Amino acid sequence: MTVHAPIAPAAGCSEPVVQRQRGQHAVFCGLTGIIWMHRKIQDAFFLVVGSRTCAHLIQSAAGVMIFAEPRFATAILEERDLAGMVDAHEELDRVVDQLLARRPDIKLLFLVGSCPSEVIKLDLGRAAQRLDKRFNPGCRVLSYSGSGIETTFTQGEDAALSAMVPGLPASGTPEASLLIVGALADVVEDQFRRMLGEMGIRNVAFFPPRRSTDMPSVGPNTHMLLAQPFLAETARLLETRGAQRLAAPFPLGVEGTTAWLAAAAAAFGVQQGAFDAATSGPRERATKALARYQPELGGKSIFFFPDSQLEAPLARFLANEVGMRIAEVGVPYLHAKHLAHDMALLPAGTLITEGADVDQQMDRCREARPDLVVCGLGLANPLEAEGLNTKWSIELVFTPIHGYEQAGDLAELFARPFNRKARLKVGAPQSRTAFARQGDPRPAEAASCS
Amino acid sequence: MQLTVWTYEGPPHVGAIRIATAMKDVHYVLHAPQGDTYADLLFTMIERRDHRTPVTYTTFQARDLGGDTADIFQRACLDAHERFKPAAILVGASCTAELLQDNPAGLAAALNLPVPVVPLELPSYQKKENWGASETFYRLTRALLADRAQGFVRAERAPGSRPRCNLLGPTALGFRHRDDITEVSRLLAQLGVDVNVVAPFGASVADIARIPDADFNISLYPEIADVTARWLERTFRQPTIRTVPIGVGATTDFIHEVVKAAGLDPAVADTVIGSRLPWYSRSVDSTYLTGKRVFIFGDATHVIAAARIATEEMGFTVVGVGTYTREFAREVRALAEKLGVEALISEDYLEVEARISELQPELVLGTQMERHIAKRLRVACAVISAPVHVQDFPARYSPQMGFEGANVIFDSWIHPLMMGLEEHLIGMFRGDFEFSDGAAASHLGAGHGSHTAAADARHDAVPAPEPVMANAAISAIPPAATGASIIWATDAELELKKIPFFVRGKARRNTERFAIQQGVDLITVDTLYDAKAHFGR
C-alpha cells in the first residue's frame, strides 16, 4: 500500500473565524529577510537601494552586531539622487563596481528595492539587466523589492526567491524530482534529505540553495513542497515553470511533519512500510520530546500578534500537540490556499485576525489576559511590564523549528517564558519601581563612594 | 548614492523618537510606511524600556498610495490624541513619506487639536539622527515657550535663594545619559545649585515651560542641546555652561564655571570630593600606561573629552582622532591640530577600519563599531560613545561625567590592556607557549580581548602577511608601509616575530621606513636593531 496524501480540508462548520482589520501595523518590512537570506546563500550579496532608514533597520534588526563582514549593504539615496542632479542608474553602477571590486567572491548580487526607491520609481529590474550583462558570467545580478509598502517581513524571502525562479535551469530528464522551497536551517535540510532518501526519494533539491552556483532545475516532473507558508509568488512562478505543488500542512511538529512528508511520499509512490521505516524513529523521538512540554503548556492560552505568516501552523501545532488554547491568531495577511491544511486542523472557531490595528489588538490582548503572547520586539517588554508572558516572534524565524528533531525545541521556545517565570523570585511587575521615564534612582553605593 | 555597510547614526526621525521617548507626555505621529516601526525595538530592546515608544506610525502601503495617504495621516493624529491624550504632539514624515509631500504640518494644523502640535521638518536625505534629535528638541522647546518669550524680563534672583540651572540634552538611547544626569545633579547639589529642569530626559511639557525659571543652562550633550541652549541664551538671557564634565580636568573646569555662573563663593569648588583617577594614574603600576598609542573615534563630545583624558590624565599618546558627527567637525579638526594628528571626519566604517589598521594603535577608544574593528585587528578597545548597544546600558551605576565618571572611565579603559609586568614578561619570554601572540591579558581569561573566535576566524581567513619561504635565506615580503621593494632576511623576520604582536606592526613599519631612509634594500637583524635605536620606543 502506498502512502496517502494528506486529506484535503473540507469546508464547513469547523472553519476558523477570520476577521480583517486596517490600521497601524507593528511589523517589519521585507528587507528584514536579508538577515537570514544572506547567510543561507553563501555567495550572494544583497545591496539595498534605499535610505538611511533602510540601512539602520537591517542593522538594528540584526542586533547591531558585527561578527563578520556582512554580505549586505545599502546604497543610500542622497538629496542629489532625488533632485535628479545625478543619474541614479550611473550612481548605482558606480556603487556596484565599488562593491564587486571589494568582494570578488560574490557570485550573485541582488539589487533590493525599498520604499523610497519604489516611490521614486527607480527601475531596479532594468538596472539588474544592465549590470548582469556586464558582470555575468562571474556574477549574476537580479533584483526584487523588499519595500514595506509592498512586502511584510517574510515576504522579502518570497520576493528574493521569485527573482531567482526565471533563471532556474529547466530539468532535462523525465525523472520525477522533489523541490523543497523556502529557506531552512542547513541541519534541517540534511535531516529531510536523509529521511526522504531512506524512503527512496533521492532526487531532492532545496531552494534557495546554499550556493548560487547550485541552482535546482525545474520542470513538469518537479514536485514542489513548500517548507514555509509565505511563498505565494515563488510557488506561482514555479507552477508556471511546470512544477506541481504538493498540498500539505507545514512541517512543524509531529503532525505537520508527518503529513508534509506523506505528501511527498504519496507523489513518489512510496510504500507505507518504507515510509514508516524512514519516519517512525524520528517520529517517536519527537513525540517523546513533546511529552515533556505537555504538562507545562497544556491548557495555557496563547495570543499571536501578526508577524511572519507562520502563526497559523504554529497555532495548529500548539493546540494539537501540546494542548494550548488559542486566544487569537493575528496574521499579517492570509494566504488561504497555502494555509488550507493548517487552518482546517485548527480547533473549531479559532479567531484569526488578518491585518491589524496594533492599538486595538493590544486592547484585545489585555482583555483576554492570555498566558502567553507571541509578538514583535517593540511590544514584548511593554507587555512583560504589564505582567504578560511573551515570546518574541522573530526568534521563530531565526531558529531551526521545522521537522521531527526540532519539534521539542519548538515547544521549548514557548515553554521557556513559563520556566523563567517559575524560577524568578524578584521583580514581579506589581512590586517593581517604575523605570524608564524618571530614570533610575541613584544607587546607594554611588552616594557613599569616593 | 553612498555605499554603506554599517551606519553610526540612524535617520533624523529616529532622533525625534529619542526626544519623544525621553519625555513623559509627548506623542509623535510619524507618516511612515510599514516597516519603519522597527525603531521601537531600539528602545524596548537596547535600552530595555518597559513602555511602548510614544509613536504612532501611519504604516501606509502601496495600495494606499493611489488613494488618500493624507487622510490616513489625519486619522492617525486623531486616534493618537484620543487614545494617548498627550500634552503635546510632534508631527512629521519619515524618508518615504517625505517623498509623498503630504504636508503633515498643514494636515495636523487643520485638525485644531486642543494641545500644542509641533511640526518637524527633518530632511531624511541630508541629515541624520543627532541632528534630528537636536532639531526636535529645539522646535519643541521653542513652541512650548513661545508665550513666555514675548516680552520676557529676567528678574534678579531673590537674595538668599539657591541658584538654579537646567540640564539640557540627555535623551532616550543616549550613551550613559541616565547615570550622567544623576552624577551631575549630585555634583551640583554639593555646590549648592538646584536642578530646575532636566530635559528632554524625564521632562513633561509643563517642565519645558519652566525652563526660563533657571539662572543658567548646562549643555550636557552639545550634539543635542547646543541649538536649544543658544536660543534660550538669546531669548531668556540664560548663560550656557558648555564645558562637558567628562574627565577630572574637564569636571574641575566645569565646577569653576558653575560657581561663577551661580555667583557662589569660589571656595565652594574645593569642597567637592574628587576622583581616584589622578592618584591611580600616578601610582607606579601605571607607568605601563605611559605613551600607549591610542586612536579615538566617536561622537564629537566624547572624542574631545576622551582626548583630554588620554593625554593629560592617563599619559597616553593620541595617534589619531575622528568623529562621525559632521556638525562638530570643526571642533574635532581643531583638536587634531592641537594634538598634531590628522582628523578623520567620516561616517564610513570601512574608512575608520583602514585608518586604525594603518595607525596600529595599542588601544582604540571608540563606539561599538570600533570595538568590532579592534577585535578583528586584535587591538584592545574600550567603548566611549554612541551608537549604543545593549552592553552600554549596564545594570550598575556607570556614569561618564563628574568625578565618579572619571573613576568609571579609568577602569573601563585600562581593563582591556595588559597589566604592567605582564607586558614585560611577554617581551622577555616569548618562547613560553602560554604567552603566544594570541594570548590575551591574563585577567581577561579565555575568549576575551584579542583572542576571540571572531578574531581567529578573520585571522584564518586572511593569509598571514608574513610568509617565510622554506630553505631560502631571504623572503620577499611586501613592505607594510611603502610600495618600495624591500626584502627581509629570514633571520630578521624571525627576530621581528619575537617582538610582541601588539607592537610588531609598528616595529615593522619603522624598520622599513628606516631602511628606505638609509637606502638599505635587505633588512637584516642589524637593520632591525639600528632602526630600534634610531626611533626609540
Over residues A259-268, the pLDDT tens digits come to 999 999 999 9
Residue A13 lies in a domain: no
Place of cell 498566558: A371
Residue A271 and residue A333 in one domain = no
Is the CB of A439 less than 8 angstroms away from the CB of B58?
no
d(CA B501, CA B489): 19
pTM of the model: 0.89
* A22 belongs to a structural domain: no
Give the pLDDT band of residue A205 (cuts 50, 70, 90). Answer: very high
Whether B36 and A57 lie within 8 Å, measured CB to CB = yes
pLDDT of B462: 34
Give A23→chain B minimum CA distance, Å: 8
- Answer whether residue A260 is part of any domain: yes
Side-chain half-sphere CA neighbours of A299 within 13 A: 2
Place B531 in a pLDDT band, splitting at 50, 70 and 90: confident
What percentage of chain B has pLDDT greater than the value 90?
67
For residue A450, what pLDDT band results from cuts at 50, 70 and 90? Answer: very low
Residues A122, A234, single domain; the answer is no
Using the beta-carbon criterion (under 8 Å), do A24 and B38 form an inter-chain contact?
no
- The answer to the question of residue A228 being in a domain is yes
Contact B115, B88 (CB under 8 A): yes
Q: Do the domains B12-128 and B463-537 sit in the same CATH topology, yes or no?
A: no
pLDDT mean over B20-30: 98
Strand order in the sheet with B240-241: B194-199, B164-168, B216-219, B240-241
pLDDT at position B471? 32
Distance of CA A336 to the CA centre of its chain: 17
Q: pLDDT at residue B297 above 90? A: yes
As annotated, the active-site residues of B are: 285
Most confident range, picked from A188-197, A331-340, B413-422: A188-197
Q: What is the ipTM of this complex?
A: 0.92
pLDDT at position B375 is: 86
Domain B164-271 sits in which CATH superfamily?
Nitrogenase molybdenum iron protein domain (3.40.50.1980)
Distance from CA of A252 to the nearest CA of B (A): 27
pLDDT at A433 over 50: no
Contact A52 B5 (CB under 8 A): no
At B222-279, the pLDDT tens digits run 999 999 999 999 999 999 999 999 999 999 999 999 999 999 999 999 888 899 999 9
Whether residue A438 is contained in a domain is answered as no
pLDDT of residue A15: 77
Give the Å distances, CA to CA, from B231 to A324, B220, B238.
59, 16, 9
Residues 113-152 of A with CB under 8 A from B: 115-116, 118-120, 147-150, 152
Angstrom distance (rounded) from CA A188 to CA A401: 8
- Would you say residue A167 lies in a domain? no
| Percentage of chain B lying above the pLDDT 70 cut | 87
Element at B195 (helix H, strand E): strand B194-199
- Best of A22, A24, A48, A433 to substitute, by most chain B Cβ atoms within 10 angstroms, is A24
Q: Are residues A107 and A231 in the same domain?
A: no
Query: For residue A154, which of A250, A35, A45, A9 has the smallest C-alpha distance?
Result: A35
The two most distant CA atoms of chain A are separated, in Å, by 83
Per the DSSP assignment, residues forming a β-bridge with B525 are none
Nearest CA in chain A to B394: A440
- The yes/no answer on whether domain B277-417 falls in CATH 2.60.40.650 is no
Do B176 and B246 form a contact (C-beta atoms < 8 A)?
no
3 state SS for chain A:
CECCCCCCCCCCCCCCEEEECCCCCCCCEHHHHHHHHHHHCCCEEEEEEECHHHHHHHHHHCCCCCCCCCCEEEEECCHHHHCCCCCHHHHHHHHHHHHHHHCCCCCEEEEEECHHHHHCCCCHHHHHHHHHHHHCCCCEEEEEECCCCCCECCHHHHHHHHHHHHHCCECCCCCCEEEEECCCCHHHHHHHHHHHHHHCCCCEEEECCCCHHHCCCECCCEEEEECCCCCHHHHHHHHHCCCEECCCCCCCHHHHHHHHHHHHHHHCCCEHHHHHHHHHHHHHHHHHHHHCCHHHHCCCEEEECCCCCCHHHHHHHHHHHCCCEEEEEEECCCCCCCCHHHHHHCCCCCEEEECCCHHHHHHHHHHHCCCEEEECHHHHHHHHHCCCCEEECHHHHCCCCCCHHHHHHHHHHHHHHHHHHHHCCCCCHHHCCCCCCCCCCCCHHHHHCC
Domain B12-128 homologous superfamily, CATH: Nitrogenase molybdenum iron protein domain (3.40.50.1980)
In the sheet that holds B117-119, the strands lie side by side as: B55-57, B26-31, B88-93, B117-119
Q: Would you say residue B481 has pLDDT above 90? A: no
Which residues of chain A from 340 to 379 reach within 8 Å of chain B, CB to CB?
359, 376-379
Residue A250 pLDDT exceeds 90 = yes
- The fold adopted by the segment(s) B463-537 is Helicase, Ruva Protein; domain 3 (1.10.8)
Least confident of A358-372, B54-68, B75-89, B181-195: B54-68
Q: Cβ distance B125 to A78 under 8 Å? A: yes
The reply to whether A90 falls in a domain is yes
Q: Mind telling me how many Å the CA of A446 is from chain B's nearest CA? A: 7
Q: Pick B1's closest partner by Cβ from A92, A359, A438.
A: A92
Tell me: pLDDT of B9 over 90.
yes
The answer to whether residue A11 is domain-embedded is no
Which of A267, A289, A311 is the endpoint of a domain?
A: A289
Q: Assess whether pLDDT exceeds 50 at residue B474.
A: no
Last residue of a domain, one of A117, A151, A185: A151
Report residue B521's pLDDT band, with 50, 70 and 90 as the boundaries: confident
The number of folded domains in chain A is: 3
Quick one: pLDDT at residue B431? 56
Pairing of strands B240-241, B216-219: parallel
**Between chains, do B50 and A435 touch, taking CB under 8 Å as contact?**
yes
Domain ranges of chain B: 12-128, 164-271, 277-417, 463-537
Q: What is the pLDDT of residue B505?
A: 76
**CATH code: domain of residue A242:** 3.40.50.1980
Q: Which of A231, A259, A289 is the C-terminal boundary of a domain?
A: A289
Band (pLDDT 50/70/90 cuts) for residue A97 is: very high
A82 touching B (Cβ < 8 Å): yes
Q: If pLDDT is split at 50, 70 and 90, which confidence band does A331 have?
A: very high
pLDDT at B155 (0 to 100)? 83
What digits encode the pLDDT tens for the residues A4-39? 888 777 655 467 888 888 888 888 999 999 999 998
In this predicted structure, the answer to whether residue B428 has a pLDDT above a threshold of 80 is no
Give chain B positions within 8 Å (CB) of A55.
Answer: 4, 6-7
* Residues in CB range of A259: below 8 A, 6 or more apart: A6, A248, A249, A341
Regarding whether A251 and A190 lie in a shared domain, the answer is yes
Q: How far A170 CA lies from chain B's nearest CA (Å)?
A: 34
Instruction: Give yes or no for residue B411 having a pLDDT over 50.
Output: yes
Residue B456: pLDDT band (50, 70, 90) is very low
- The distance of B57 to chain A (nearest Cα, Å) reads 6
With cut-offs at 50, 70 and 90, classify the pLDDT of residue A435.
very low
**Residues of A numbered 266-325 whose beta carbons fall under 8 angstroms of chain B's beta carbons: which are they?**
none
Structural domain span for residue A414: 290-429
Do both A297 and A284 map to the same domain?
Answer: no
> Residue A300: what are its φ and ψ, rounded to 5°?
-80, 145
Q: Which residue of B has its CA nearest to A380?
A: B44
A135-176: pLDDT as tens digits: 998 999 999 999 999 999 999 999 999 999 999 999 988 899
CB–CB contact B96 A445 (8 Å): no
Does B89 score more than 80 pLDDT? Answer: yes
